[in-house]
Structure 1
């Protein structure tokens, strides 16, 4: 692959490779063979191949919770559905993601994992598939949210072994109060799986025991979990107080209020993971869609809903979540980190989620409104917005 030199008005980067993320204004990035080879502040050392005069060049966004998108539920999507999601997620700034399968019978989840394994080699250029997130079936019936209670079960050694068979599982959400859950956490961690506490009625003490066993994340903080009480703290309280845990946050301002979101960023500084929890309704007009084999309805305003009014995933874009964080007063570098470096490190991919020497050249140009205007994966441009045009070597977009 030919080398590429990009210059940006603003650049969110780790110039020395392993230090803190910084905002360089201006900055430049050199790419060769799909990898970042140089990051610098100020004018580039030579005329750039691409100059971005507005907005911010950031690492490609990393989403650890994507149930579906563009009308397709990934748990049972056909090959065409997978192809559309992989090709089009870069429109939202996402360059890597975990397809997420919600609760189903263990045998059905195992079959979905095998189908996914067989589909992966033929996927087109686009967002990287980092593995699979299983959100269930080892969840609490008291905090099931949109999950089917009939399919919830304990994480027996046999069930865990069945789901680990393909090697695709990279993240499992479970309720640590279920019988056998702590042993399951230990087994999953030993097999390189990130464990997240979620859909749980656990006490703070039970969550701490899960962290002792190796759990490192909490799924969509405040949603479908015991909360913050001054005498009876639960999952959310432990997620905020425990430095080992990274709270996932669906920042569409429907799942969590603006005040609660500010609390999360203040209490869990440097640990917040922005996620979408996107359902098949994401990127689609209002109407009827599917999540986990059951119908959901996307209204004109707000997230998708089950027939009983239960929130069922979201229609959130991850670039919009970054913009919402900035609008709440979160520092832009912190907001970008929460959708890039923090989730990439958590999932064990330090080659992603940062603009740093040696990292993969996965990049997104965010406009002043924090919406993706152009996206690169491994140095290849995989999305260029219809309002983006190139004159000479300058990328420009309508303000």
Structure 2
């Protein structure tokens, strides 16, 4: 029989198959089982077999950023993350003037068409100055209909993060959703009463929950309480154990559940490239001991996290099981993006990561092809 087999402990939507197999052919998963496996041309065995990771919030890696005009840099960043098990990602762009974003979206178009990236996430410029983090406050602006239309017209925008308290934000949420993009709430100083209308208007993602937003308070839940408590909203968590403590990650993931928890990296170009100085959206970033901050401040500026490390951290440091980790790194983000991947099941795209007994990446299969 044509194709290949992957054997080991297979993490499926229904649980773990302790001695299971995947039959892969033509870039698709043909079958999954534990009984007699079909005869194939090749068999590869691993301790753990999980779906390829999907990162919906990634600015770059391997020394390259998605803001670069150089196509080689885009491929360098995606290839770096692929070696860490990420088979699908959204290229995230930080706040820049609208004409610059439109120009960069045009540059990224060929990479979307070629399947190198699944689309673009715009983190700004419609953000609150009070919670700007590593975004240049001079560039931040309220959304207007023409600006949103210019971004959507590029055809590459899959998600936009905005602050719901800004003038025009609720209309922008509706415009984004009507245009087929995901509206995400983040970098916001809004009180709860200003967040809820944005959710009602169609916002369905919390951008790196807890980070870049008004803190939770027992009398004013703010964005954290509103977003975490609403069943319509999926919550991004940066599980690098720097942005969030293990206790907070565990509490948030347990409350949101497997249908709403999404692990992201928020990785910048410094990821995998070592300590030093880097540029992010016009700001100078200093990386020390793997932690990026805006030069001259303590403000975190993205991360140097990879999805495999986030996956391990959720299990080993935060105490969740491997099925929850698979849901947060593959199944839920796939559902958000409407992708035919994220689960080891018949008919799904053959995006597969092979892990050793310590959950370290050994091999990576993307659409049926070994890429690492």
CA contact (8 A) 1:71 1:282 kept: yes
Following superposition, the deviation at residue 48 of structure 1 comes to: 7.4
Q: Counterparts of 1:332-371 in structure 2 under 5 Å?
A: 332-349=322-339, 351-371=340-360
Whole-angstrom distance in 1 between the partners of 2:358 and 2:29: 26
Following superposition, the deviation at residue 44 of structure 1 comes to: 2.3
User: Which residue matches 1:257?
Assistant: 245
User: Which residue matches 1:394?
Assistant: none
1:62 and 1:53, CA in 2 relative to 1: closer, same or farther beyond 3 A? closer
Matching of residue 105 in structure 1 with residue 97 in structure 2:
yes
Whole-angstrom distance in 2 between the partners of 1:59 and 1:47: 21
Following superposition, the deviation at residue 265 of structure 1 comes to: 1.2
- Relative to the length of structure 1, the TM-score reads 0.89
Matching of residue 173 in structure 1 with residue 161 in structure 2:
yes
User: Which residue matches 1:23?
Assistant: 16
Matching of residue 72 in structure 1 with residue 64 in structure 2:
yes
CA contact (8 A) 1:139 1:175 kept: yes
Following superposition, the deviation at residue 367 of structure 1 comes to: 1.9
Q: Counterparts of 1:136-215 in structure 2 under 5 Å?
A: 136-215=124-203
Following superposition, the deviation at residue 319 of structure 1 comes to: 0.5
SS in 2 for 1:229: coil
Higher mean C-alpha displacement, 106-115 vs 200-209: 200-209
Per-residue displacement from partner, 1:306-360 (whole Å, max 9, x unpaired)?
33221100000111001000012101110111000001101121x1111111110
Following superposition, the deviation at residue 292 of structure 1 comes to: 1.4
Q: 1:90 aligns with which of 73, 76, 82?
A: 82
Matching of residue 307 in structure 1 with residue 300 in structure 2:
no
Per-residue displacement from partner, 1:255-277 (whole Å, max 9, x unpaired)?
01111111111111121100000
1:305 and 1:252, CA in 2 relative to 1: closer, same or farther beyond 3 A? farther
Whole-angstrom distance in 2 between the partners of 1:64 and 1:179: 26
User: Which residue matches 1:376?
Assistant: 365
Q: Counterparts of 1:42-53 in structure 2 under 5 Å?
A: 42=35, 44-46=37-39, 49-53=42-46
User: Which residue matches 1:13?
Assistant: 12
Higher mean C-alpha displacement, 36-45 vs 129-138: 36-45
Whole-angstrom distance in 2 between the partners of 1:118 and 1:379: 22
Per-residue displacement from partner, 1:230-260 (whole Å, max 9, x unpaired)?
1111111112211111110000000011111
Whole-angstrom distance in 1 between the partners of 2:4 and 2:303: 36
Following superposition, the deviation at residue 207 of structure 1 comes to: 1.8
User: Unpaired segments of 5 or more residues in structure 1?
Assistant: 15-20, 384-399
SS in 1 for 2:138: helix
User: Unpaired segments of 5 or more residues in structure 2?
Assistant: none
CA contact (8 A) 2:286 2:294 kept: yes
CA contact (8 A) 2:183 2:203 kept: yes
Whole-angstrom distance in 2 between the partners of 1:345 and 1:225: 25
Following superposition, the deviation at residue 151 of structure 1 comes to: 0.6
User: Which residue matches 1:58?
Assistant: 50
Following superposition, the deviation at residue 301 of structure 1 comes to: 4.3
1:91 and 1:23, CA in 2 relative to 1: closer, same or farther beyond 3 A? same
Whole-angstrom distance in 2 between the partners of 1:267 and 1:275: 18
Whole-angstrom distance in 2 between the partners of 1:135 and 1:41: 43
- Relative to the length of structure 2, the TM-score reads 0.95
1:212 and 1:120, CA in 2 relative to 1: closer, same or farther beyond 3 A? closer
User: Which residue matches 1:285?
Assistant: 274
User: Which residue matches 2:320?
Assistant: 330
Per-residue displacement from partner, 1:99-130 (whole Å, max 9, x unpaired)?
00010111111111111114555x6xxx7411
1:261 and 1:280, CA in 2 relative to 1: closer, same or farther beyond 3 A? same
